[in-house]
Amino acid sequence: MKERVAVVGAGIVGLAHAWSAAERGHDVTVFERTSVASGASIRNFGMVWPIGQPTATRAIALLARQRWLTLTQESGIWANPYGSMHLAHRPDEWTVLQEYYELQRHSDLGPHLRLLSTEEAFERSPAINPTGFLGALACDLEVCVNPTETIRKIPSWLTDRYEVQFCFDTAVTEVGTGQLRTATGRSHSFDRIVICSGHDFESLYPEQFVELPLKKCKLQMLRTVSQPSSWKLGAHLASGLTLRHYESFRACSSLQLLVDRIAAETPELDHYGIHVMASHDNLGRVVLGDSHEYGDRIEPFDSLEIDQLILRELQKIICLPSWDLESRWHGIYAKYPSGVNVNLDPEPRVHICTGFGGAGMTMAFGVAENQWRLWTNTTAETVA
Ligand SMILES: Cc1cc2nc3c(=O)[nH]c(=O)nc-3n(C[C@H](O)[C@H](O)[C@H](O)COP(=O)(O)OP(=O)(O)OC[C@H]3O[C@@H](n4cnc5c(N)ncnc54)[C@H](O)[C@@H]3O)c2cc1C
């Protein structure tokens, strides 16, 4: 049965719900309080990153990845499925990568992984710093998108393709079963309302958020000027520091030695939650990051010390033709520590979907699709 569906928020999570609902033939309206999306979804690396997911949630990441490829092919929005490389510049990092490869080689991830010698890795990326380089773990699943461009183009595609309506500059101030109210006082009727308001826990159903262990996290990021056009990063690149950040690597017993070494050698990296990664967008710029500061430690001001630490660590692992910076910024996301994200139903046919932490670009298309399969008892086949 065709439903009138409202989605609150035009970040990646709201867009994912809007797309899954529209594909099922529903009448979809998206309400976004800013004039263009400006939240975490436009501020990230643009890394669709299945390798960061543990075995239990990898299927959702793979579904999401497939949907990214479908969307970018159908819409003509730029994406580069160039994969990833985790670089080892210290023996303990190389040990963890080797252990991870052994653990995963017979899993569904196995066919996508390769341990690379230094020579093989240099062939894939001219950016690797050769000093101390020991080898890399390559995965061919990761996809790069330009987050700002993509998140701001998807609304037009959804409108052209599925007649999804977008109400920008429209804050939703009240939601109840069958109805929502906007800041101008207008009420609208809907059969189903999905709230995807990112790290805003204060405006809609604040009492629901009080009970949850959700945290806000601030991340600092940098972006270089465009690199020479023939120069390619070759893959998303991640350092050994990243191994202590993504849950997938926690299955490795050798990880603790690396964690302990970093804590003893460079405690400032733990203090600011720094691990370093780089991605290369369609405008030739290299996006660099990042740090993690939680809860009460979040200040509106960006710290130059953090930027300098991020650059220091990146320069240990990569060499760029130009390190000149074009932009610096920070983003804030909501993180639910005990799962991929949080899905709540505060009232009948009212849903809240948030808390994706550092994996919203990777997981939202999969989570939203699964939610719509559940709510409407439809599978991908019955939709197609
Ligand atoms: C610096 C940084 C780097 C990251 N890197 C990656 C990465 O490479 N890969 C990855 O998978 N993930 C990454 N993430 C995580 C990812 O960006 C987030 O998980 C994701 O963007 C969260 O999406 P969202 O739609 O929940 O939130 P948002 O993008 O913040 O969107 C929420 C939207 O809701 C709107 N809104 C809120 N309340 C209302 C209301 N009452 N009425 C109307 N509109 C409202 C807001 O204006 C906003 O536009 C990164 C995050 C950051 C900050």
Asked if the structure places residue 52 within a domain, the reply is no
- Paired with 137 in beta bridges are 86, 115
pLDDT at 279 > cutoff 80? yes
Residues 162 and 193 reside in one and the same domain: yes
Instruction: Looking at the structure, tell me whether residues 152 and 132 fall in a common domain.
Output: no
pLDDT, tens digit, 9 for 90 and up, residues 79-108 = 999 999 999 999 999 999 999 999 999 999
Enter the DSSP assignment of 318: B
Per-residue pLDDT tens digits for 25-47: 999 999 999 999 999 999 999 99
Same structural domain for residues 301 and 164?
no
Indicate whether 297 belongs to any domain: yes
In a shared domain, residues 95 and 160:
no
Pick from 240, 236, 239, 247: nearest CA to 357? 247
Answer whether residue 377 shows pLDDT above 90: no
CATH number at residue 199: 3.50.50.60
In this predicted structure, the answer to whether residue 191 has a pLDDT above a threshold of 50 is yes
Tell me the residue type at 161.
R
pLDDT at 381: 55
Tell me the best of 68, 174, 333, 350 to mutate to test the pocket of ligand 1, counting ligand atoms within 8 Å of each CB and taking the most: 333
Residues 226 and 288 in one domain: yes
In angstroms, how far is CA 340 from the centroid of its own chain?
A: 11
Report CA(359)–ligand 1 centroid distance (Å).
Answer: 10
Closest by Cα among 270, 309, 316, 370 to 88: 316
Residue 246 domain-assigned? Answer: yes
Question: For 309-341, b where at least 16 C-beta lie within 10 A, e where not — what string?
Answer: bbeebbebbbebeeeeeeeeebbbbbbbeeebb
- Domain presence at residue 57: no
> pLDDT value at position 383?
58
Q: Are strands 47-48 and 236-238 parallel, antiparallel or unpaired?
A: unpaired
Per-residue pLDDT, averaged over 270-298, amounts to 96
Are the CB atoms for 356 and 41 separated by under 8 Å?
no
Q: How does DSSP assign 57-106, residue by residue?
A: GHHHHHHHHHHHHHHHHHH---EE---EEEEE-SHHHHHHHHHHHHHHTT
Q: Which residue minimizes the CA distance to atom 41 of ligand 1?
A: 172
- Total domains in the chain come to 2
Question: Among residues of the chain, what percentage have pLDDT more than 70?
Answer: 98
pLDDT at site 382: 59
Q: 62 and 143 in contact (C-beta within 8 Å)?
A: no
Distance 242 CA to ligand 1 centre (A): 21
Is the confidence at residue 296, as pLDDT, over 90?
Answer: no
Asked, for residue 78, whether it belongs to a domain, the answer is: no
- Position in ligand 1 atom list of the atom nearest CA 15: 25
Structural domain ending residue among the three candidates 297, 314, 335:
335
Residue finishing a domain among 335, 355, 371: 335
User: Is the model's pLDDT at 311 over the cut of 90?
Assistant: yes
The yes-or-no verdict on residue 379 having pLDDT over 90 is no
Ligand 1 centre distance from Cα of residue 197 (Å): 8
Res. 258: pLDDT tops 60: yes
Question: Residue 203: which domain range?
Answer: 4-44+148-212+340-383
Q: Tokens for 287?
A: 């996006």
Instruction: Indicate if the pLDDT at residue 201 is higher than 90.
Output: yes
Average pLDDT over residues 175-182: 98
Does 120 share its domain with 228? yes
**Final residue in a domain of this structure, among 312, 335, 358:** 335
CATH number at residue 114: 3.30.9.10
Q: Which helix (H) or strand (E) holds 219?
A: strand 215-226
- 152 and 134 within one domain: no
Pocket of ligand 1 (CB under 6 A): 8-14, 31-34, 37, 39-41, 43-47, 49, 171-172, 196-198, 200, 203-204, 219, 221, 289-290, 331, 333, 354, 356-362
Q: What is the pLDDT of residue 211?
A: 87
Given a cut of 50, whether residue 292 has pLDDT beyond it is yes
- Judge whether 58 lies within some domain: no
Nearest-CA residue for ligand 1 atom 39 is 197
Residues 315 and 252 in one domain: yes
User: Above pLDDT 90, what percent of the chain?
Assistant: 95
Contact 66, 126 (CB under 8 A): no
Atom in ligand 1 nearest the alpha carbon of residue 9 = 34
Cβ atoms of residues 7 and 30 within 8 Å: yes
Looking at the structure, do residues 205 and 220 belong to the same domain, yes or no?
no
Same domain, 219 and 365: no
Estimate to the nearest angstrom the gap between the alpha carbon of 294 and the chain centroid: 17
> Which residue shows structure tokens 């390559």?
138
- pLDDT for 126 beyond 60: yes
Please check whether residues 170 and 36 belong to one and the same domain: yes
**pTM of the entire structure?**
0.97
Is residue 378 scored above 90 in pLDDT? Answer: no
Residue 291: inside a domain? yes
pLDDT value of position 384: 47
Examine residue 67 and state whether it is found in any structural domain, yes or no.
Answer: no
How far is the C-alpha of 318 from the C-alpha of 89, rounded, in Å? Answer: 10
Mean pLDDT across the stretch 183-187? 96
181 shares a domain with 96: no
d(CA 91, CA 110): 23
Separation CA 368–CA 14 (nearest Å): 9
